[in-house]
Each structure stands twice: as structure tokens, then as C-alpha cells.
């Protein structure tokens, strides 16, 4: 049985580790190739796009894939859409592995928005000119904030972004998980008064939310897109592994 894991997340790597060496199971993890030095999971790995839904469907047929697990980032809408289309075309079972989203706690000052464009608009209104923004939405959407010239942006990313970028920017190249003490120190050292993030969920980057709550800093949260209609969802690596094992035994 050949399982294709659409990866790029901690959960995808953990799933590959869980399934690695399982009798009668071949696991291939696919990575988009957007990170220069990704953490490779065990098993087979392919890097690069498929060429849309049709290209993915062709790959599933060519490599006799028995099941697909979409364990991509919750905001990787395009690949998730293509996976749903390809799975439906080839009649290959598809499961979405999605870590639960974050939930605001008492004392949080969250401003939820539907997109990066709305987040950029919110940045311009949540504080006056001269605000200092900690931007943790990834390098791919940085151009959305490039027109804001009256704010300082601290941008944290695994790899350096390409222009256009906000004119007043300091780049911090780092990869989680992050600690609460580290996030507290970061917010204080850079005098941050606004945090912008996507609702990625999980624990690796959640300490920034606690640090913002403690400091009374408003957080602009971009809501995650829904999973494709009709696609079953597993919230944990264990649940996804059980789904695969049931396919193997059934």
C-alpha cells in the first residue's frame, strides 16, 4: 500500500515517522520546496509541485498511490484544493490532517480577519502612526504589507522574503518551536505594540500569543480557510495513523 503524505508541517513529519517501517506500507512525503533547508522525514521524499490537480492525479496513477493524507499547512489552500480534485478524479481515499486552531483566552485582545489584506487594513487602524508590528504570517504574503510606510515591522521567517517588502523592516530568520521566555524578551526588546499572525494552531508558535496577552498587546488573527467539502479530517497524528492502518487491514 502506497501512502502519499502532502507535507511541510511538524505533523506530516511525525506521521511519516509513525508509519515508517510498517509492514506492507510504502510512504512518500511530498514537500513544496519553498523552504531552502527543510527537515526531511523518513521514507521516500519528493520535492516540488505536481502541476495542478491534473498533474497530481497523473502522479497518483503513475505511482499506484493507495491513499493521500493532506498534512500541509492550514493555509496552503491551493495544494489542498488540488488534492481534493485529484483524489476525487482517481477515486483515491483522502484525509486532511489539521491541528486544531487557536482559541482566545481571558485577557486576549484578538481582532479576527479573513485575509492578509484585511490584516493589513487592521494594522493601519489598531494603532496610530509609529506603531511597531511583529509580523509572523510568513514570507510569502509580505507584499500585502509593503504599502504601509508609517509602521515598523519585525518579520520572523524561516527564509528571507523577496521584495516588495514594507520599507521599515527588520528581518529575523528563525524556526520554531519558540519559548515563552524568548517571546516575552522579543516583544519587549523591539517594543512591539501589535502582533499579526495566522491561526496556524499547534504549540510550536503559540507562546507569542501568551506573551502578547501578558503585555496587553492586540493580536490581529487571520482565520484559517475551511477544509475542502467532503474531506474527512483528523486532528492528531495518531488519528491519521489509525486511518491508514484501517485501510491496510481492511
What cell does 85 get? 480534485
Instruction: Report pLDDT for 37.
Output: 72
Indicate if 235 and 197 belong to the same structural domain.
Answer: no
Q: How many domains does the chain have?
A: 2
d(CA 138, CA 205): 12
Position 21 pLDDT exceeds 70: yes
d(CA 44, CA 134): 37
Indicate if 88 and 116 belong to the same structural domain.
Answer: no
CATH number at residue 56: 3.40.50.720
Q: Which long-range contacts (CB under 8 A, 24 or more apart) does 102-107 make?
A: 102/199, 102/200, 102/201, 102/206, 102/209, 102/221, 105/213, 107/213
Q: What is the mean pLDDT of residues 153-159?
A: 93
Indicate if 127 and 164 belong to the same structural domain.
Answer: yes
For residue 46, list its beta bridge partners.
30
Position 124 pLDDT exceeds 90: no
Inside any domain, residue 105: no
Domain of residue 174 covers: 110-222
pLDDT-derived band at 176 (thresholds 50, 70, 90) equals confident
Indicate if 29 and 95 belong to the same structural domain.
Answer: yes
Indicate if 52 and 126 belong to the same structural domain.
Answer: no
d(CA 30, CA 44): 9
- The DSSP code sequence of 165-203 is --SSEEEEE--S---HHHHHHHHHHTT--EEEEE---SS
Indicate if 16 and 82 belong to the same structural domain.
Answer: yes
Inside any domain, residue 54: yes
Position 127 pLDDT exceeds 70: no
Inside any domain, residue 210: yes
d(CA 57, CA 53): 6
Cα–Cα distances in Å, from 48 out to 31, 55, 68, 156? 6, 12, 16, 24
Q: Which residues contact residue 225 at a Cβ distance below 8 angstroms, ignoring those fewer than 6 apart?
A: 74, 75, 77
For residue 112, list its beta bridge partners.
221
Indicate if 126 and 89 belong to the same structural domain.
Answer: no
Instruction: Give the neighbor-by-neighbor strand order of the sheet with 94-97.
Output: 44-47, 26-31, 2-6, 67-70, 94-97, 233-234
In SS3 terms, 86-100 reads as HHHHHCCCEEEECCC
pLDDT-derived band at 103 (thresholds 50, 70, 90) equals very high
Instruction: Report pLDDT for 128.
Output: 62
Position 129 pLDDT exceeds 70: no
Indicate if 211 and 230 belong to the same structural domain.
Answer: no
Residue 110: closest CA among 206, 217, 225, 193:
217
Q: What is the mean pLDDT of residues 16-44?
A: 88
Q: What is the mean pLDDT of the chain?
A: 94
Percentage above 90 pLDDT, the chain: 85
Instruction: Report pLDDT for 227.
Output: 92
Inside any domain, residue 43: yes
Inside any domain, residue 239: yes
Indicate if 116 and 213 belong to the same structural domain.
Answer: yes
Whole-model pTM: value is 0.89
Position 6 pLDDT exceeds 80: yes
Instruction: Report pLDDT for 204.
Output: 87
Instruction: Report pLDDT for 76.
Output: 92
Indicate if 203 and 231 belong to the same structural domain.
Answer: no
Indicate if 139 and 54 belong to the same structural domain.
Answer: no
Percentage above 70 pLDDT, the chain: 98
Amino acid at each position: 500500500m502506497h501512502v502519499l503524505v502532502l507535507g511541510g508541517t511538524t505533523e506530516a513529519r511525525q506521521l511519516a515517522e509513525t508509519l515508517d517501517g510498517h509492514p506492507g506500507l510504502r510512504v512518500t512525503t511530498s514537500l513544496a520546496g519553498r523552504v531552502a533547508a527543510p527537515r526531511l522525514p523518513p521514507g521516500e521524499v519528493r520535492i516540488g509541485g505536481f502541476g495542478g490537480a491534473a498533474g497530481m492525479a497523473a502522479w497518483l496513477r503513475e505511482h499506484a498511490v493507495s491513499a493521500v493524507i493532506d498534512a500541509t499547512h492550514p493555509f496552503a489552500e491551493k495544494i489542498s484544493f488540488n488534492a481534493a480534485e485529484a483524489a476525487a478524479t482517481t477515486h483515491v481515499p483522502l484525509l486532511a490532517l489539521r491541528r486544531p486552531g487557536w482559541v482566545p483566552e481571558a485577557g486576549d485582545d484578538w481582532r479576527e480577519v479573513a485575509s492578509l489584506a484585511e490584516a493589513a487594513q487592521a494594522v493601519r487602524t489598531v494603532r496610530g502612526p509609529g506603531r511597531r508590528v511583529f509580523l509572523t504570517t510568513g514570507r510569502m504574503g509580505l507584499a500585502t504589507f509593503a504599502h504601509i510606510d508609517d509602521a515598523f515591522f519585525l518579520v520572523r521567517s524561516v527564509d528571507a522574503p523577496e521584495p516588495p517588502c514594507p520599507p521599515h523592516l527588520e528581518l529575523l530568520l528563525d524556526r520554531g518551536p519558540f519559548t515563552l521566555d524568548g517571546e516575552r524578551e522579543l516583544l519587549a526588546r523591539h517594543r512591539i505594540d501589535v502582533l499579526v499572525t495566522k491561526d496556524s494552531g499547534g504549540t510550536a508558535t503559540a507562546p507569542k500569543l501568551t506573551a502578547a496577552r501578558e503585555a496587553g498587546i492586540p493580536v490581529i488573527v487571520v482565520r484559517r480557510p475551511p477544509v475542502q467539502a467532503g474531506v474527512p479530517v483528523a486532528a492528531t497524528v495518531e488519528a491519521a495513523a489509525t486511518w491508514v492502518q484501517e485501510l491496510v487491514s481492511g
